[in-house]
Chains A and B, each alone.
Chain A
């Protein structure tokens, strides 16, 4: 479903993503774990066609990422920051972006989405008036309004409380059931443990570890400890970023 090969991106002299290679199977939730500045968002921008890779290739659902028009059809992307019209309601936002994709029977699709994402009560409220958690959900709903084959979620739980976070996990599991492959970036270990089938740990643009939630446990008693140990090994060679 997703093949990444030697993907590299440099900003001037700084390399944000450094020869990354990995692959994701269809229907997986694939975690990209890493501290701030690890290059998660940069990677996602490249995979969604928003950033030209400096070198390397990647194919998303069989589409080369430089073939942007085709790529648009198969991907959904919920960026790290909320991207919707604050002055439009949830339904209106979905309607508008759905129409851009030419979604058939848009009303039905919107109803499905607001139900699945628990936005029914607030569906006619202006987006700017929603709570943080609701906004994150709307952001995800907008990313899947056109039923993409692969969904990129960039830190979807950023800045929301634990209860809402758990509710969001359910939403994501629901999406998985729709056979949508999900690429999920986060710096919370618990999330990967709960959601992901497989993951990579990124640091300074490089893959530190490719693992499953189970295999990572051998590095420590808790997943936090394991993560810490893995990163510590890495810092032996290079000075660390702030985590």
Chain B
């Protein structure tokens, strides 16, 4: 019998609902409409678009034709003397921001002093301001990178050419070294030969020696010439590289990137190499050889009598010559090693991409929810807010109507307990809320949101529907008229919305507000849904808390109606 009564109650409420067009609209059309409108809004909402659509003042005091190509900003030229105007316009709200290019901006940059743009922001438009600021910062960073990369690339090109030539010089020096070795061997042979020569053959041999000496002299002067040339060339190349590197250092190393240290080191190495080359005493050795009085060796054949003296003198000279050649070869070796070291270092440096010297570290953002739309992020909030508002309105009104029409009194007169009566109201409202939730979910799915209808989601939705409906019921039990039901619902729902973390993160709120916000029914609902939908988790504890709160509110409602069934 009791079940029959319950069914009768549900049946009666459904009939009443269907005959009340306004409420039917509220139950069916409103969730559809609100969800539709909000879904349309959220799926087309973007900060990027906002930044691209607001007017940004462009105040170029430099007038050097500087422009921010590639900026996603809607720039509005403010003319020449716009310093004060720009600030004023931002304060008046006629532009969302203003960018000011100071006088001498371009020149400062090209001289390597650096310069800064000025940005005025209308901070009343929080999101837009942040978007514009981010956009301008990105532009400036890009600009910095471009300037740095251009300078370093230029330097690298020259250093590479230099390095190629250094490689060639090394080759040539190797050859010179080889030639020197040949000279040494020849000299040694000559010396050995001289030691073993008998003077009778001397005349003949002297002639040969004379010839050989001529050759040596010729060879040596070639070597001397070559070495002097290369020495000059290398040292001038290295000297030209140093200022160039210094300049790129000054240009690109204002931000103290990691590449800078390496660059600085390179400059030092090259300066050292250059110094070593200059100090090489090569020329002295070469001059010594040149200065050797080879003509003194060319003795007249008839002066054979002096031969033994001459021979001794020649032998002594040859010994000196050998030592000199040895020193000379060693020097060439040292230079080769030095140049090869420099070459290797240069190769290492120029192999680096200038881009990564200027910007050694960059941020690669990885969003936790890849490729999701704003609508998806807002979906839990949307479901909760629509359910909350409509739920509160409908359920608070249902009770108020019954009490105002005196039907609550008639029901209370009948032999059914109030607890049971209210319970059947909760069941009825719960069914309504589930219908609404279904409508909302259907609309969201039509917008391409793939909502997994798993046990957790369904349980969460059910708990939310129950919670909001009982909350509305409780409001209905406290207030006296439809209007105050509506107002009370609003007074409760609006702060709940602002304190739920939908609009502002809890971290932004004062601690006490955040604490209250975390305990509100809407927040509970939202967090339970977000857990399931956005974070792929489950928060059964949250659902149990919602059920507990629902039961509490139900008991309060029963008490309130029991205490006063009629107004």
- A88 near B406 with CB under 8 A, answer no
Q: Which residues of A contact B (CB under 8 A)?
A: 48, 50, 69, 72-73, 75, 77, 79, 81-88, 92, 95-97, 99-102, 126, 142, 146
Query: What chain A residues lie within 8 Å of B415 (beta carbons)?
Result: 69, 72-73, 100-102
Contacts of A92 in B (CB 8 A): 12, 15
- For A48, the chain B residues whose CB sits under 8 A away are 413
* Alpha-carbon distance between A142 and B405 when the two chains are bound, in angstroms: 14
Interface-forming stretch among B1-9, B235-243, B330-338, B485-493?
Answer: B1-9
Q: Would you list which residues of chain B between 1 and 30 have a CB under 8 Å from chain A? A: 1, 4-5, 8, 12, 15-16, 19-20
Return chain B residues, CB-CB under 8 Å to A73.
415
Alpha-carbon distance between A50 and B566 when the two chains are bound, in angstroms: 9
| Beta-carbon contacts under 8 Å, B392-408 to A | 405-407
Residue B552 CB within 8 A of the other chain? no
Q: Is the pair A87, B20 in contact by a Cβ cutoff of 8 Å?
A: yes
A209–B405 Cα distance when bound, in Å, is 35
Answer whether residue B409 sits at the interface, using C-beta atoms and an 8 A cutoff: yes
* Chain B positions 372-415 with a Cβ under 8 Å from a chain A Cβ: 405-407, 409-415
**Residues in A neighbouring B414, C-beta threshold 8 A:** 72, 97, 100-101, 146
A75, B412: Cα distance in complex, Å: 12
Beyond A77-B413, A101-B415, whether A82 also contacts B406 by CB under 8 A is: yes
Q: Which of chain A's residues has its CB closest to B16's CB?
A: A87
Cβ of B565 under 8 Å from chain A:
yes
Which residues in B have their C-beta under 8 angstroms from that of A100?
5, 8, 411, 414-416
Residues of A within 8 A of B406 (CB): 79, 81-84
- For A77, the chain B residues whose CB sits under 8 A away are 413
Contact assessment for B409 and A83 in the assembled complex, using a CB-CB cutoff below 8 Å: yes
Bound Cα distance from A96 to B405, whole angstroms: 15
Q: How far is the CA of A86 from the CA of B416 in the complex (A)?
A: 22
Do the beta carbons of B565 and A85 come within 8 Å of each other? Answer: no
Q: Return chain A residues, CB-CB under 8 Å to B4.
A: 99
Report A202 CB to chain B, min CB distance, Å: 22
Distance in angstroms from A93 CB to nearest chain B CB is 9
Closest residue of chain B to A145 (Cβ to Cβ) is B414
Chain A hits for B407, CB < 8 A: 83-85
User: Closest approach, in angstroms, between the C-beta of B415 and any C-beta of chain A?
Assistant: 5
Q: Measured between alpha carbons, how far is A96 from B7 in the docked complex, in Å? A: 10
Residue of A nearest to B20 (CB): A87
Asked if A102 and B409 make an inter-chain contact with CB atoms under 8 angstroms apart, the answer reads no
Cα distance A102–B20 in the bound complex, in angstroms:
27
A83 touches B405 (CB 8 A): yes
* Contact B12–A88 (Cβ < 8 Å): yes
A85 and B12 within 8 A (CB): yes
| Cα-based distance from A85 to B19 in the complex (angstroms) | 11
19 contacts across the A-B interface (CB closer than 8 A): A50-B409, A50-B412, A69-B415, A72-B414, A72-B415, A73-B415, A83-B406, A84-B406, A84-B410, A85-B16, A86-B405, A88-B16, A92-B15, A96-B8, A96-B12, A97-B410, A99-B5, A100-B416, A101-B415
Q: Return chain B residues, CB-CB under 8 Å to A84.
A: 405-407, 410
A45 and chain B: residue at smallest CB distance: B566
Distance (whole angstroms) from the CB of B402 to the closest CB of chain A: 9
A162 to B556, CA, bound (A): 46
Q: Once the chains are docked, how many angstroms separate the CA of A50 from the CA of B20?
A: 30
For B541-567 the 0/1 string (1 means CB < 8 A from A) is 000000000000000000000000110
Contact partner of A126 (CB less than 8 A), chosen from B12, B19, B411, B565, is: B19
Q: Chain B: which residue is nearest A92 at the CB level?
A: B15
Distance, CA A77 to CA B12, complexed state (A): 21
A85 to B16, CA, bound (A): 8
* Beta-carbon contact of A99 and B8 below 8 Å: yes
Shortest CB distance B424–A (Å): 11
Please name the residue on chain B nearest to A80 by beta carbon. Answer: B406
B418: shortest Cβ distance to chain A, in Å? Answer: 11
The residue in A50, A69, A75, A87 that gathers the most chain B C-beta atoms within 10 A of its C-beta is A87
* CA of A50 to CA of B16, assembled, Å: 26
Query: Given A101-B415, A102-B1, does the pair A87, B410 have CB atoms closer than 8 Å?
Result: no
Closest to B421 in A: A100
What B residues does A88 contact at CB under 8 A?
Answer: 12, 15-16, 19
Within the complex, what minimum Cβ distance (angstroms) separates A173 from chain B? 24
State A1–B414 Cα separation when bound (angstroms): 20
